[in-house]
Chains A and B, each alone.
Chain A
Amino acid sequence: MCRRILVLLSSLMILATQTSCWSSKEIEDLALYAGLALDTAELSPTEQKLEEQGSTYTKRNRITATVQVVPANSVGGIESTDGSVSPYMNVTGTGDSVLEIFRQYSILRERPIIGHHLKVIVVSSELLKQQSMNQLMDFVLRDNDIRPSTMVFISHGRAEETMISKQKGVIPAFHIRDMMRNQKRTSKVLAPVILSKLDSFMYSKRSYALQNLVTANGEVEFSGAGVIKGNTGHWVGALSQEDTECLSWLTNRGQSGVIKTYDWSNEPITYEVKSLKSKITAKVDGDHLSFDVKLTTEGRLSETWNEEEYPAATHLPQKAEKLFNKRLEQMMQSLFHKLQSDYKADAIGFSSMLKIQEPALWRKLEDHWDEVFSRTPIHLEVDLKITDFGSFTL
């Protein structure tokens, strides 16, 4: 009997130790951050005043990091409907180590910040002229809380401005993430570059393009892209919206978008892409390397302002096809010109085609690829077909 009670008691005691978790932290006591913006160093007014009073530590002011802290209940998708209080809070710090700046927030706010729910990182192009991407991303890639699924963007102006929204009840970091869905409607939105992809770009030292964010009047717009040169990790230039669209098409990451041109009576005429395939082939002839790019697209003539000739009229499709063909070629050539002559950076990824198709040659050119790319001729062939005219045939 005594033995049985002893067994019962000890098993109850063991049970009591099993139900808790040593490292548990209440989610309400944590400050989750959903967005991170990195800028060139610029002390915020609060920081300036604090520093005037001697509140500082050993650092060089090289970056300003802004984190967007959101309340715990908005992470699961239920956003705060109460419009009177802002649903997010931006905290800013300046220094020369991202982690140190983060830890510095702990002497400013009551809750520790935690990176499990970081969705968006925005880096200003100004900062990327001074620091390389590898330096800036080192901490976020090493950290155990921040997920490699975090998307990375570039901002035209100050990155911290993309973390501000005029609309009530909107959390800018989530807003930017959700705008990625529009990739289905327009190829001007590049396929998202997540941290693990960025890591592999940086590892292979290839150049790449990141979606650019432009802010005006408290609104954020996806506009064009920023090109980062592989061997330096610095920002070298911007791509326009049309260039970005072409980039999506060339890399087979976009199946949508419109091509607009002006017809024989100088009226706008618009083609809607239904499908688009690009095929890049490396051609080697002795020591001479060139690329053949073949674009095949089918689509719909969706809009014409020309009142005299109706789309289905006998010769119009052929005439229109020629116009669109020419326009698409122009757009592509403009992108090639920018990347080859202005930026000397292969952001399209011709290198990966060469790597796959001509591995032996690639090994020879690998070290100075961007240089070689800027001199390599690209032959473009466009095959555009109008398949229908929408529901308006006459």
Chain B
Amino acid sequence: MFIRTDDKITAAQTAVFLNNTLLGAGILTLPRSVSQTVKTPDAWISVLLGGVIVMLAVLVMVKISQQFPGQTVFQYAGRLTGRFIGGALSLLLILYFITIAGFEIRTLAEVTLFFLLEGTPIWAVILPFLWLSTYLVSGGINSIARVYTIVFPISIMILLISFLLSLRIFDIEHLRPVLGNGVAPVFAGLKSTVLIFTGCEVTMTLVAFMQDPKQAVKAILGGLAVLMGIYLLTVVIVIGGISIGSASTSTWPTIDLMRSFEVPGFFFERMEFPFMVIWLMQMFCNFSSFFFQASLGLSQIFKLKVHPIIYALVPLLFISAMVPKSLSDLFALGDAIGRMGVVLFLLVPVLLSIVWLIRAKGLKQHV
């Protein structure tokens, strides 16, 4: 394989990039959050519906980005709304990315400390990941995309094997009745299922890096469909395995599902360890994505070189990861990030699209 230096990625790489940005800690906590809000076994319908809603939202982001080929949101926001407003919007977006990055790596550390490395200080878990990520991000989007294409198939394979083996405790009765309490619970669940797609704002920079931006809709929606399929499978398997009651009381329901069975004679008797180890890579990818986005944004707004910014962000990200004092703080932060995501969606892509429509179609200006 030849090594590209032109900072462009293919459609397939875009889809994988999107998946590795969004598919992380959500899979460990989603069955709990959705069970708690839906309270009936219809949780999976909420996931489907949430996925469709997010797809529509992302479609808006792709469409507006396609109007400015080769430019990221940090660049075209300024062109559309003026430097001041555009800069402010971009800074909000960057703040948001830094918060998610901190959240992801903190979740990674919390899971590791609880199940794998009890007694290791938290900084000793976070720092190596942070340094490694710095190295990866400084390589630019091509290196990142290549790492993701290696990690993604491995983590999906382990996830599917774990789910397959968990079928021994799967009971379809746990998923019945369908719509027993009407559709109201399904809509209540949207609150938590839309949140698991937070971070899909990266679409607005990803399109700029695409070799062929015309394929953006196909690549991004395809990536989201895969993601939605994985989330749907997770919710069905976890609730079918340990039931809605157990899923809503457990802190990490997906890991508890893996801990609920043993496979004597198989290569691994306990699936939670290989699963968690692999999933750490996935969360590392999440973190790297947001790290990359934040550094890219800062360098584009202030027209600075990207490398010094990457190094300057390292301590900031560490602080961002250490801000939550406890696990409940962390989960509260997760919810806050979700709400921020909704607000940002209204502020950035929707607002920009409206401005673009007025200026380009209404006033016939050339932007």
Contact = CB atoms under 8 A, between A and B. Distances in A.
A135 interface: no
B177 A356 contact: yes
B298 interface: no
Contact of B180 (A23, A194, A356): A356
28 contacts: A22-B117, A23-B118, A77-B264, A141-B249, A144-B114, A144-B115, A147-B260, A147-B270, A148-B256, A149-B259, A149-B260, A149-B261, A149-B262, A196-B242, A196-B246, A197-B242, A197-B243, A199-B245, A200-B242, A200-B243, A200-B246, A201-B245, A202-B245, A203-B246, A352-B173, A355-B177, A356-B173, A356-B177
A21 interface: yes
Contacts of B270: 147
Contact of B260 (A194, A355, A357, A359): A194
Contact of B245 (A23, A149, A203): A203
Contact of A359 (B119, B124, B180, B262): B180
A363 interface: yes
A359 B181 contact: yes
B67 interface: no
Interface in B161-218: 169, 173, 176-177, 180-181
A204 interface: yes
B248 interface: yes
Contacts of A363: 181
Contacts of B250: 196, 199
Contacts of B243: 197, 200
A147 B272 CA distance: 10
A132 B248 CA distance: 21
Nearest to B272: A147
Interface string A190-232: 0000111101111110000000000000000000000000000
Interface string A336-376: 00000000000000001001110100110000000000000
A352 B173 CA distance: 8
A292 B120 CA distance: 58
Nearest to A359: B180
Contacts of A149: 259-262
Contact of A147 (B180, B244, B259): B259
A356 B243 CA distance: 14
Interface in B242-295: 242-246, 248-250, 256-257, 259-262, 264, 270
A203 B248 contact: yes
A23 B177 contact: no
Contacts of B169: 194
A363 B121 CA distance: 48
Interface residues of B, number: 30
Contacts of B117: 21-23
B120 A196 contact: no
A197 B177 contact: no
B120 A148 contact: no
A142 B42 CA distance: 27
Contact of B119 (A22, A141, A197, A203): A22
B124 A22 contact: yes
Given A22-B120, A148-B242, A359-B180, A196 B114 contact: no
A149 B168 CA distance: 12
B259 A148 contact: yes
A194 B177 CA distance: 23
B181 A200 contact: no
A199 B246 contact: yes
Interface string B107-125: 0000000110111110010
Closest 10 CB pairs of A and B: A359-B180, A203-B245, A200-B245, A200-B243, A22-B120, A200-B246, A23-B119, A148-B260, A196-B260, A199-B246
Interface string B68-94: 000000000000000000000000000
Q: Which of B181, B250, B259 has the most CB of A within 10 A?
A: B259
A159 B123 CA distance: 44
Interface in A144-186: 144, 147-149
Contacts of A352: 173
A356 B180 CA distance: 7
A30 to B, nearest CB: 12
B50 to A, nearest CB: 23
A359 B262 CA distance: 34
Given A148-B260, A149-B259, A200-B243, 13 more contacts: A23-B119, A147-B260, A149-B262, A197-B242, A197-B246, A199-B242, A199-B245, A200-B242, A200-B245, A201-B245, A203-B248, A359-B180, A359-B181
Contacts of A141: 249
A3 to B, nearest CB: 20
A328 to B, nearest CB: 24
A265 B124 CA distance: 80
B355 to A, nearest CB: 48
Interface in B108-167: 114-115, 117-121, 124
